[in-house]
Amino acid sequence: MPEPQPDHDLAARVTALRAHDPEFARAIPSSRVADAIAGRDGSLVGTIVAAMRGYADRPALARRAERVVRDPDTGRVTLELLPEFEMFGYAEVWRRVVALAGAWAECVEGGLRMGDFVAVVGFTGVDHATIDLACMYLGAVAVPLPTGSPAARLAPIVAETAPRILAADLDAIDVAVETVLRSASVERLVVFDHDARVDAHREVLRAAADKLAGRAEVVSLADELRRGEELPTVLARDDGDPDRLVGLIYTSGSTGTPKGAIYTASMITRMWQNGRGGMTNAGASPDTPLPTIVLHYMPMSHVNGRAWLISGLSSGGIGFFAARGDMSTLFDDIRLSRPTVLSLVPRICDMVRQRYLLEVDRVTRAATETPADTDASTAETTARDRIRDGMLGGRIVSALCGSAPLSAAMHTFMAEVLGTRIVDCYGSTETTRAVVVDGRVRRPPVLDYRLVDVPELGYFGTDKPHPRGELRLKSVGLVPGYYRQPEVDARAFDADGYYRTGDVFAELAPDHLVYVDRTNNVVKLSQGEFVAVSRLEALYATSPHIAQIHVHGSPEQAFLLAVVVPARSGAAPADDDTMRTRILDAMRELARDAGLAAYEIPYDVILEPEPFTVANGLLSGIGKPLRPALVARYGARLEGLYADIAAGRAGRFAALRAAGPHAAPLDAVLAAVQVTLGHPASALRPDVGFAELGGDSLSAHTFATVLEQIFDVEVPVQLVLGPTGTPARIAEHLGAAREPHPARPTFASIHGRDAVEVRADELTPDRFMDAGLLRRPASPPSGAPARTVLLTGATGYLGAFLAVEWLRRVADTGGRLICPARADDDAAARERVVRCLRAASADRPGWFDTVAARHLEVPAADVSAPRLGLDASTWRRLAAETDRIVHAAALVNHVLPYGRLFGPNVVGTAELIELALTGPAKPFTFVSTIAAALEPDGSVLDETVDVRTAAPVRRLDDSDANGYAAGKWASEVLLRAAHERTGLPVTVFRPDMILAHRRLPGVVNLPDRFTRLILSVVATGMAPLSFHHLDADGRRRRAHYSGLPVDFTAAAIAALGADASDGYRTYHAVNANDDGVSLDEMVDWLIAAGHPITRFADYEQWRMRFEAALRGLPEQRRRGSLLPLLPAYARPSEPRPAGAVPNARFTAALAAVGGEPVPSITPDYLAKCVADLRGLDLL
């Protein structure tokens, strides 16, 4: 639910309106009339009569006034809208209803009988309302047809209902005529919103009459009303049967085939009686009824259109009608009608926001032309006031959202603009009214509800932290079924009589529900249209240009998108733009031939060269598209495309690409941010970092690729994601790349642009640095303790604790610890490092501040830049003064490819090697990863082998952490070669998982796999019987988990690194204890500790339900969950025995220096990890 919304002193506004606005005060419901409506004993007509006569002296309905205009050149008469409304009182409306009933009682053979059908197609208005009420008066069945639908779509509805009269407005007259010609039942076509004074109106009516001559009579509603007034009054027809069919509302719902929801006399009567008290709003007073003054813009074929009409009339309110069905006059209509209540859909809200942004700009520009000092906040407040009090009429005291959900941001924005809270309503055509309001089940009308598992989508009642499932309910006012479609009835209601809503909810508490998803392959667009995407996919797949297609829609968007795998023909392949144009043109042609509505045609497509297959998980075993998998694969790209279209960024990007390297760097960077993150230009500033804008490693990869395509310049991901990764700084990088400069090693220059494997013999130091450095140092380093240590990566998780360890050591010798860090200047760099190191030494804060002031130096630097980005004098000083280098910095990412990590992780290591070889030799400690020693067959290299000969080639692929591991391997290759060439002392540490601190509370490695896994298992309450393959008897196998706490790992690396002054050594800093502690054992401990965790014997069932539950977590917890790394858990792994990773050299060396023995993971330690996560509000 959105955050609480300000009410802008709503109660005071209501009081002022009651006192000073006569129209507002007059429209307040009358308790006397409300009592009369309630006392009509369920009689539909009696209830309506009680309202119409009780409020006879009030204004009821209004339409935009028009005047006749004659063209002086042609003499033709047209109509021109006036800035005012023409009012119809309740008495006048009822007089029109009775007159039309009189005309229809005898207009067709035998007269329109009770139970006959009347179909209506056209936009809502006074005439449409008159027709609807006349049907109720006569006992006829009103069938409002879907507005804007082609005749082919209406034909099955007309054939099913066999209406004797079809009413149509002028805009729908062509469709109506074609519908009549296809129908055997329609005897009369009544044209409404027709003005005989207008030439075009008369011509349209005459043309329709000519086409239908001998087939059906064509008359205007005005003529019907005149004739009815001259006829004897017909008595209202009401047989008192509460189950009598009164109306049908057709919905395509879950099948895409129209089906008519049955509305009975008792249901419509109840709608009139429920609305008799007007509105209430908690911001005013729940006991104070508010007048229902509403602007109608929703079609009568939608339940909301009918409900709002009844709500206004039953409470003595006023219903104004929008002048145009295309919403072109909507805001003029709102401004002139000044509604008290507004029904919101995303499209309307988007329009309001656009007007608001224009108004903010107008206010801001005006302020720059006057001496007044108007800041951004003042401009926004002024704009909101102008929108609320001007464009929106100034008396909206209630707003509801029900047709389609608003995003949380839009919800908050509209509440601030309107000055009232927005009520979220969930209901449907079948429920006839809202059944969940602001997340709370409404009782009445709901009698009972249940959530039912949807296993195919991964929603279950056992989901954690909240049960999830399809909402099924029993409710007062629920439709009894669908007209003449018993097979649809059977699918719509379960065996216990509960209505299947087709919507998935999470139950946060009894009667507290939150919408999650839709169960079928029908999507609901922002204007409330249901679109059967499978039907569209079947149609569009018939195009010779389309091999496969996935059609996508969203309740927050008004149009569809699609992912298309183009068909490959024998001709030369077309470029993407040409192919996209062909596909879009083909879909439009198919849609036109099939009579589809405009919203059923995808607006744009994503071209996918890789087919949907069983192998890549996008098709089932029988070749059926797996929609959840398609959504998971393409959802982010589709949402990005929506954002591109909305902001118009695609065209801008195309222009930038056309400009190529001649484009202005800052413009290109800002445009690339828009393309990648979906932010509007107004939200971007050159000084706000990419990460601050919500960018992550994957979006940074895309962003960098966009810029590289434009400028043909490498853009390091570390530059993008780092603390200095602002558009301005990235633009400086692009600009500097245009200047002549020495060539830098890149992935392409070392391995080849399209390399799929990397070789050790390609990674020679002379390709990275001056060959003159690659000689044996004149003098070996002394064995004395290092006084000046340069350590990289101090702002990282392990690096911070390593820095604290080394700070203690250099303080004891009176030396210095130099920790270069990325920042704009030295002060900012020091602030970053001090913040991280202070947290890593939280158990002794006084000590750290004292020691850091004397022994810590922090220059602003960039490890992957030439000479660390330092000026020449600083570089020379560090080369002369530094005694030892500890290289712990790396861009740690399990998703990015090796090419993206090459700069920060491989070139960065080469820069540090160059520093180590400049001046006196400096022993080099390198933090690698155990993954660098992992062989393709799953075995692990020994600590003693030369990595260049033991693993001379690394395969590059998209497997988990492949790029990161390859980068560490490449760095080891460089270090081994540098040692061989120069004698540089090197010590390499290969840790496995680096876990939480054993003592410091809240210190956990949040991005790492172990933390994500524990968080996810506890948060969802789900785990497999085993994370590993079971034995032949289906039992768990003994396994081992080799992670180590960060405090132990840092202390061990510092101790062994400080002891190394010659040679080349590799240590596996892992837990190889034969303790039987595995992930399975840890889940046992969690269960024993009282965490409610369900174990699944079927691993695939666990994975499916686990993923669905993770996707349902709150945003912060979802980001910290295992979701990004879930592909690594696609299937059970082979259990790794304790000795699988040899660490004999590591344990022996630790013992030799008096270090702590390698610790095992214990239940108490795991409990501390869980407590840390809970303390961080992640559990």
Q: Is the peptide bond prior to 444 cis by the omega test (within 30 degrees of 0)?
A: yes
Q: Quote the pLDDT of residue 2.
A: 40
DSSP 284: T
The CATH classification number of 758-970+977-984 equals: 3.40.50.720
Q: In angstroms, rounded to a whole number, what is the distance separating the alpha carbons of residues 579 and 583? A: 6
pLDDT tens, position by position, 934-976: 998 888 999 999 999 999 999 999 888 899 999 999 999 999 9
- Between strands 924-927 and 530-532, the pairing is unpaired
For domain 648-741, give its CATH number from 1.10.150.120, 3.20.170.30, 3.40.430.10, 1.10.1200.10: 1.10.1200.10
Contact 681, 647 (CB under 8 A): yes
The CATH classification number of 293-518 equals: 3.40.50.12780
Contact 10, 284 (CB under 8 A): yes
DSSP, collapsed to helix, strand or coil, labels residue 1129 as helix
E strands, 816-866, in order: 816-818, 856-857
Other CB atoms within a 10 A radius of the CB of residue 197 amount to 12
Q: In angstroms, rounded to a whole number, what is the distance separating the alpha carbons of residues 295 and 4? A: 26
Q: In angstroms, rounded to a whole number, what is the distance separating the alpha carbons of residues 140 and 895? A: 64
Q: In angstroms, rounded to a whole number, what is the distance separating the alpha carbons of residues 750 and 973? A: 13
DSSP, collapsed to helix, strand or coil, labels residue 85 as strand
Residues 6 or more apart whose CB falls under 8 angstroms from that of 945 comprise none
What topology is assigned to 58-237 in CATH? Answer: Rossmann fold (3.40.50)
- With residue 133 as reference, give the H or E element that holds it: helix 126-138
Q: In angstroms, rounded to a whole number, what is the distance separating the alpha carbons of residues 1076 and 1065? A: 29
- The domain limits of the chain are 58-237, 293-518, 522-645, 648-741, 758-970+977-984, 1009-1175
Unique residue bearing structure tokens 């209505």? 499
- Between strands 341-344 and 398-401, the pairing is parallel
What topology is assigned to 1009-1175 in CATH? Answer: Rossmann fold (3.40.50)
Query: Please, what is the Cα angle at 986 between 983 and 987, to 5 degrees?
Result: 155
Q: Quote the pLDDT of residue 3.
A: 41
| Residue 914 token pair | 């160059």
CA separation (Å) from 137 to 43, 94, 144? 11, 10, 16
Contact 760, 803 (CB under 8 A): no
| Superfamily name and number for 522-645 | ANL, C-terminal domain (3.30.300.30)
CA separation (Å) from 526 to 403, 486, 588, 655? 8, 30, 21, 31
Report which of 846, 805, 844 is spatially closest to residue 1048, judged by C-alpha positions.
805
pLDDT tens, position by position, 627-651: 777 888 999 999 988 887 776 644 6
What φ, ψ does residue 480 adopt, rounded to 5°? -75, -15
What φ, ψ does residue 218 adopt, rounded to 5°? -115, 120
Q: Quote the pLDDT of residue 1.
A: 37
Residues 6 or more apart whose CB falls under 8 angstroms from that of 27 comprise 58, 291, 292, 293, 316, 317, 318, 340
Q: In angstroms, rounded to a whole number, what is the distance separating the alpha carbons of residues 1055 and 806? A: 9
CA separation (Å) from 1105 to 472, 1101, 1120? 21, 6, 18
Contact 728, 663 (CB under 8 A): no
pTM of the model: 0.56
Q: Quote the pLDDT of residue 374.
A: 58
DSSP 891: -
Contact 93, 60 (CB under 8 A): yes
Asked if the domains 293-518 and 522-645 are classified in one and the same CATH topology, the answer is no
Q: In angstroms, rounded to a whole number, what is the distance separating the alpha carbons of residues 738 and 720? A: 19
Task: Give Rg (Cα) of the chain.
Answer: 36
Report which of 753, 707, 751 is spatially closest to residue 731, judged by C-alpha positions.
707
Q: Which residues of the chain have pLDDT under 50?
A: 1-8, 253-256, 282-284, 621-622, 649-650, 682, 778
